[in-house]
Amino acid sequence: MPTRLLLLLFLVGHVFSKEPPDVDCWVIHLKHINCSWNKQGTPDVNYTFYSWFQSDGKNCTTYVSENSKNTGCIQPYDELITRRFHTFQTRLSHGNTTFEKTHQLKQKVLLDAPINLTVKNGSDYNLWFYWNQTAVHCVESEVRFRVNDKNWETSLVSIGTQKYCINLPSSSSRYELQVKSRVGKNCGESFNWSSWSEPAVWGSNNITDTNVSVSAWTPLLYVVAAVILILFIMMFLPNERLRIIPIPDWRQFSKGMKGNLSYNEQACPVQEYCNVSESDSDSSDGSTCSVTTDQTDCSVSIAVTNADDLSTAAGLLSSQEEEQVSE
Ligand SMILES: *[C@@H]1O[C@H](CO)[C@@H](O)[C@H](O)[C@H]1NC(C)=O
Ligand SMILES: *[C@@H]1O[C@H](CO)[C@@H](O)[C@H](O)[C@H]1NC(C)=O
Ligand SMILES: *[C@@H]1O[C@H](CO)[C@@H](O)[C@H](O)[C@H]1NC(C)=O
Ligand SMILES: *[C@@H]1O[C@H](CO)[C@@H](O)[C@H](O)[C@H]1NC(C)=O
Ligand SMILES: *[C@@H]1O[C@H](CO)[C@@H](O)[C@H](O)[C@H]1NC(C)=O
Ligand SMILES: *[C@@H]1O[C@H](CO)[C@@H](O)[C@H](O)[C@H]1NC(C)=O
Ligand SMILES: *[C@@H]1O[C@H](CO)[C@@H](O)[C@H](O)[C@H]1NC(C)=O
Ligand SMILES: *[C@@H]1O[C@H](CO)[C@@H](O)[C@H](O)[C@H]1NC(C)=O
Ligand SMILES: *[C@@H]1O[C@H](CO)[C@@H](O)[C@H](O)[C@H]1NC(C)=O
């Protein structure tokens, strides 16, 4: 009995290993196409690989191998930014068996992580992050940053922009930012993001937790004090005078709090605001700097408009920045 079972297992295993290998291809960093056929395990024969877009077929230039069996191929191609819109054909052959497959690579682009992420404490009192990525005019990015190792906040950076600004940072806090990218909508959006870049860090290394929470609660204390003050005034003023009570600027308060607390407004927060740091500074001109939308509340159209604003604003600021640097 056991020998029969073993024989059966052996046969089943043999049948599975005879399955045609599934070839999976990705456009890596718009430089080469990486195909692999070892998803179901290392094949037991040594396939040779041949590929073509329309007529320009070529044998594999660089094989990837495992246990001296070919399991993948790296084919360099020029102009993959446009060529990937055509169908891509692959052929695996061994002896007189061949397996051909047609691939749609348009959305199967995988960029390398952005490089050279640097941070500059600008003379405009903003914190500027710069990076480099390939095919600038086709690539969109996403940054994530955190202050004092708290939760990550993410923000989309529109196509063509390779910088991000945090308004009025507090030098007693620690800022950490990373960026990732992919081919954007206007160039045939890719499915997958690159991995996160190396982080860039600015500011103090050590900040005690108590300091953080005190400064985080400060705006709330202001609000509570204001409410109490209003109540007092209402109690002591005669009714007719109520109309001239100065109303505090609630939007200013909520802006200040947004950076620190998860303060939820019922309405969609259409207003733009810069990423105000721990310091409770007035950010009246901060809206030109960077834009963060509350994605849970906002519709897609608002996010898109804001992204456009961001790129123009960032463009304007960049020319100022360059002038200041060149001085
Ligand atoms: C190609 O793809 C294989 C399998 O996905 C991976 O192990 C390898 O690192 C990739 N090589 C390059 C150069 O992208
Ligand atoms: C690919 O390799 C085969 C066998 O080595 C050869 O006959 C063929 O001409 C090559 N094709 C191209 C396009 O280089
Ligand atoms: C498979 O082919 C590669 C080159 O295409 C060769 O280097 C390798 O030795 C071959 N492996 C076997 C087991 O034949
Ligand atoms: C495949 O090649 C073998 C010898 O290499 C030959 O005996 C067999 O007839 C061929 N099969 C086909 C379908 O051509
Ligand atoms: C990244 O920085 C290094 C060293 O600063 C520089 O040599 C390289 O050219 C930079 N890469 C890009 C794409 O700018
Ligand atoms: C950042 O730059 C501003 C203006 O140039 C300067 O006042 C401030 O001290 C700098 N902060 C740090 C931590 O370098
Ligand atoms: C790298 O990025 C910086 C800042 O965005 C830019 O000035 C520079 O031209 C970029 N370098 C390359 C090689 O794209
Ligand atoms: C692309 O993304 C999908 C879904 O997140 C993931 O399963 C897959 O491994 C990714 N492919 C590559 C080559 O990173
Ligand atoms: C952080 O704290 C350590 C010891 O507590 C100290 O040696 C270091 O200088 C501090 N770094 C900064 C940037 O304050």
61 to each of 3, 10, 27, 69, 301, how far by Cα in Å? Answer: 45, 36, 15, 15, 45
Label residues 191-220 b or e (16+ Cβ within 10 Å = b).
eeebeebeebebbeeebeeeebeebbeebe
Q: Please tell me the predicted confidence (pLDDT) of residue 225.
A: 86
Q: Please tell me the predicted confidence (pLDDT) of residue 122.
A: 82
Nearest to 142 by CA among 161, 155, 132: 155
Ligand 6, residues 119, 120, 125: which to mutate, most atoms within 8 A of Cβ? 125
Low-confidence ranges of the chain (pLDDT < 50): 1-2, 5-17, 207, 209-212, 242, 244-245, 253-327
pTM of this prediction exceeds 0.85? no
Q: Please tell me the predicted confidence (pLDDT) of residue 319.
A: 39
Q: Of the ligands numbered here, which is closest to the C-alpha atom of 322? A: 7
Q: How many Å apart are CA 75 and CA 58, to the nearest integer?
A: 9
Class of the CATH domain delimited by 113-203: mainly beta
Q: Please tell me the predicted confidence (pLDDT) of residue 268.
A: 25
Q: Tell whether ligand 7 has an atom less than 6 A from the beta carbon of residue 128.
A: no
Both tokens assigned to 59: 């044998």
Q: Please tell me the predicted confidence (pLDDT) of residue 18.
A: 59
Domain spanning 18-103, CATH architecture: Sandwich (2.60)
Q: Please tell me the predicted confidence (pLDDT) of residue 205.
A: 65
Amino acid in position 206: N
pLDDT in tens, 287-322: 334 433 333 332 333 333 333 333 433 333 343 444
Pocket of ligand 5 (CB under 6 A): 115-116, 132
Q: Tell whether ligand 7 has an atom less than 6 A from the beta carbon of residue 162.
A: yes
pLDDT in tens, 204-226: 765 454 444 555 667 778 888 88
Q: How many Å apart are CA 103 and CA 93, to the nearest integer?
A: 17
Strands 24-28 and 109-110: parallel
